[in-house]
Amino acid sequence: MPIPSPEQLIDFEREHWTTSPGTKEELVRHELGIPLARHYQLLARAVGDERGIRHDPLWAARIRRRMSDRAAERGRRSSAA
């Protein structure tokens, strides 16, 4: 299966925003044909990519913000340990 486009990745994330982690992993493998870790790598690129931003600027910004918040939280947890 080819690598999903930035538009496909953002659309998938929008559709499955509140899906539980285990279910989301199954959906990513089934619908996109890639492992969950690869999905997040490609999604991070997609929300910074001109095509992804142009496709859906609101969701691209929302996903970037969520990724940034989670990275900051991981940093706080690792510095507190």
pLDDT in tens, 30-72: 999 999 999 999 999 999 999 999 999 999 999 999 999 988 8
Q: Would the pLDDT of 1 be above 70?
A: no
Q: Which residues of 38-54 are buried (b: 16+ CB within 10 A; e: fewer)?
A: ebeebbeebbebeebbe
Q: How much is the pTM?
A: 0.86
Using an 8 Å Cβ cutoff, are 80 and 31 in contact?
Answer: no
Within 8 A by CB and 6+ apart from 44, the residues are 67
What does each C-alpha distance from 24 to 37, 50, 51, 54, 77 come to in angstroms?
Answer: 11, 26, 24, 25, 24
